[in-house]
Structure 1
Amino acid sequence: MIDNKLQNSGSYASHEGYLRTLDVMAEASMMSVYCSCGRIVVLDRSEMRLRLRLGKELECTSCRNRRISEEIDEMDNHFNGIEEPDGILL
């Protein structure tokens, strides 16, 4: 059962037996988007616009934490002088 008013985004999620657009699942100041891993992320619209203007990806908490952990590991390796398997000093 899809209400004609809800056909804005083209993205739907099942909620209590009804299909709803992702945009309607949150308050008007919030926006739902898909992370690259497939999770639905609910963000404040102003935060979303700022992140997009800065060229950042919109990502879920899990992907964000994984990315930050990888960046920290890369910086640790670089400043500790650990070499990569291909012989390049990080």
Structure 2
Amino acid sequence: MPRLIITVDGKTYNLPDAAVPKLQVQVDRNNAANNTALPLGDWLALHLQEVAIAPELSAAIDSLRKQQEADANAALTAAIAAARDELLAALATP
């Protein structure tokens, strides 16, 4: 497989020839897991972008988890109150 050359801000970086097949194994695994057909270059671009947004994504995930927990707790509290009310009403019925 050919050498992988990456240019960032006018500076060129060369990945060794031996790295390309190893990266391709990861690309193939990722494509199989996600039912995609990304070539190596597109896969690298996507994953570098994912690295760039990782802190923001992590914060969003934490926020969503907290909101889901709050929603679940509110639903549980409402269900408990409804069950309590039904049981109390059943006691009052002759």
TM-score (norm 1): 0.38
Per residue, is there more strand in 1 or in 2?
1
Per residue, is there more helix in 1 or in 2?
2
TM-score (norm 2): 0.37
Higher-Rg member (1/2): 2
